[in-house]
Amino acid sequence: MTSASTPAVSAGPGAPVTLRGVGLRSERGPILGSLMLAAALVALDATILATAAQTIARELGDFERLPWLFSVYTLAQAVSVPVYGRLADVLGRKRMMLAGIVLFLLGSVLCGVAGSMTWLIVGRVVQGLGAGAVMPMSMTIVSDVYTLAERAKTQGYMASVWAAASVVGPALGGVFSQFASWRWIFWINVPLGLLAAVMLWRSFHEPERDGAREPIDYVGAALLTAGSTALLLGLLEGASLALPFTVGLYALAALLLGGFAWWALRTAHPVFDLRVLRRRVIGASTVAGFMVGVIVLGLSTYVPIYAQGVLGATPLAAGFALAAMTIGWPLTATFSGNFYLRIGFRATGLIGSSLVLAGSVLAALLLGEHAAVWQVAATTFLIGAGMGMTAVPTLIAAQTSAPWHERGAVTGLNMFSRSIGSAVGVAVFGAVVNALAAIGADGTPTGPGLAHAMTLVFTATAVTAALLLVAVLCMPGDKPESPGA
């Protein structure tokens, strides 16, 4: 049984906080297993409803509200991530992770017994609030328990969970809805989530903290959550809302987030200290996370539409084209540690972001009306391989630069920036596709304009990949000073 190093740190302004034995009494195998299981449930529930949606609408009605099952989950998860990250630094990782699992299971039960679309949506909100804790806490606990040399492999395992869930989720949802009941999509979470919680409870022992606990910034948390909600709601649902209402959402978001920035720069212990963005490694990794979100969710949404609507591929072939990206990501993420320990985080990220740019440029040049599915798969695999050598090293670089009392907030910020990037990517790419393509009876883009729209989407992806390369280039170029950190 081994562990990461456990130095004493200061909590910043105020009394010092001594942290003893992070991971020293922890069984790391069960911890990683519980984190992967919890992350798998959260990732599955982001995609598993896709193939069961029509069955749910037939049983519960309110078909026009069906998209909210997806958007409210994403929204609740995204806006709660930075708050959980900071609370973990104050109250502890274990408490926040267990709280997230409990909320996620409560939401699953509400969804499982829902008798109307309204209650199903409420359950999805509660699920999303729980998922918002699981995502950053799993990454933060891995950073606490494993050494710098080990984190790339363990973060690669976590990435493989998300990749596999994105592929398995829709198929599993179809199996449940066709051969059992769509409600089993949610009931299956209960025993597996309880198992993850018990494993974590028994295996992960956090250090006791000496000194006074920092106060929780409730005002900042409220401003950040409300402002992020308005922004994401505008991005996710703006196209379906009346223009004045959409403009109002963006104006409200600007007002609330501006108020949060003003408050955070003037309070002693903000829910997130914006001053850490002045550190090059954290600021650059945050921007990189945003670009990663734009590219990944944008391609995940529109590559299957392109493969089926333009190339005439079957759903299975379209899934294969996208699965290539989810295979490439964990494949390179698991050995990226061998690179960044030798050549540094920035050099590793530059190799990765160059691969992303190369794959995106090839997609923009080659993926037209007469491309083959294998060409789509090849370009997405290259993009995924580049992501594995970019997203993981930039996150670990930010975590490594932060002391224990900031690591949760820094991880939460990186995850939050990816969520915002994902919403922006879907909104911008969706606006392009909707402007040029007709919308079929099933609600998906179609018609001769779709091919031109997808060319623009792939071009926009290449531009975003170039910005990702610039963001990584802005990181400091030092090698990790302490491979055992």
Q: Which of 187, 208, 229 is the last residue of a domain?
A: 208
| pLDDT for residue 24 | 44
Q: Which of 155, 190, 208 is the last residue of a domain?
A: 208
Q: Tokens 């992020």 identify what position?
A: 228
How far is residue 422 CA from its own chain's centroid? 8
Q: What is the pLDDT along the chain (485 residues), one digit of tens a residue?
A: 334 433 333 344 333 333 444 444 457 788 888 888 888 888 888 777 766 766 787 788 766 677 777 778 888 888 888 888 888 888 888 889 999 999 999 999 999 898 888 899 899 989 989 998 998 888 888 888 887 777 767 877 777 777 677 667 766 776 776 677 888 888 989 999 999 999 999 888 876 665 566 777 888 888 988 888 888 888 777 666 677 888 888 899 999 999 988 998 888 788 777 788 888 899 999 999 999 988 987 887 788 888 888 888 777 777 778 778 878 887 888 778 788 888 888 999 999 999 999 999 999 998 888 888 889 999 999 999 999 899 888 988 888 888 877 888 888 888 888 888 888 887 888 888 877 876 665 556 666 788 888 899 999 999 999 999 999 999 987 665 543 34
| pLDDT for residue 285 | 92
Contact 437, 447 (CB under 8 A): yes
In the DSSP assignment, the letter for residue 23 is: T
Examine the domain organization and report whether 331 and 444 are in the same domain: yes
| pLDDT for residue 432 | 82
Does 323 fall in a domain?
Answer: yes
Examine the domain organization and report whether 325 and 392 are in the same domain: yes
Examine the domain organization and report whether 182 and 225 are in the same domain: no
pTM: 0.79
Residue 391 CA to residue 375 CA, distance in Å, equals 24
Examine the domain organization and report whether 331 and 295 are in the same domain: yes
Examine the domain organization and report whether 265 and 366 are in the same domain: no
Examine the domain organization and report whether 428 and 385 are in the same domain: yes
| pLDDT for residue 210 | 59
Examine the domain organization and report whether 230 and 192 are in the same domain: no
List C-alpha distances in Å: 473 to 334, 352, 394.
22, 11, 11
> 240: domain range?
217-270
Examine the domain organization and report whether 78 and 144 are in the same domain: yes
Does 3 fall in a domain?
Answer: no
Which residue from 22, 15, 38, 46 is spatially nearest to 103, judged by alpha carbons?
Answer: 38
Examine the domain organization and report whether 256 and 357 are in the same domain: no
Does 4 fall in a domain?
Answer: no
Q: What residue type is assigned to position 39 of the chain?
A: A
| pLDDT for residue 163 | 65
Does 11 fall in a domain?
Answer: no
Q: Which of 270, 292, 310 is the last residue of a domain?
A: 270
Does 16 fall in a domain?
Answer: no
Does 12 fall in a domain?
Answer: no
List, in sequence order, every beta strand (DSSP E) within 362-414: none
With vertex at residue 35, the alpha carbon angle to CA 41 and CA 382, rounded to the nearest 5 degrees, is 75
Does 68 fall in a domain?
Answer: yes
Examine the domain organization and report whether 356 and 438 are in the same domain: yes
List C-alpha distances in Å: 239 to 65, 245, 376, 430.
14, 11, 28, 9
Examine the domain organization and report whether 351 and 255 are in the same domain: no
As a three-state string, the secondary structure of 236-263 is: HHHHHCCHHHHHHHHHHHHHHHHHHHHH
Does 5 fall in a domain?
Answer: no
Nearest 5°: phi and psi at 168? -75, -35
The CATH number of residue 180's host domain is 1.20.1250.20
Backbone angle region of 443, left / alpha / beta, with phi > 0 → left and psi within -120 to 50 → alpha: left
Examine the domain organization and report whether 327 and 463 are in the same domain: yes
**Structural domain count of the chain:** 3
Q: What would the two tokens of residue 284 be?
A: 């650059």
Q: Tokens 């040049």 identify what position?
A: 365
Contact 47, 169 (CB under 8 A): yes
Kindly give the pairing relationship between strand 18-19 and strand 438-439: unpaired
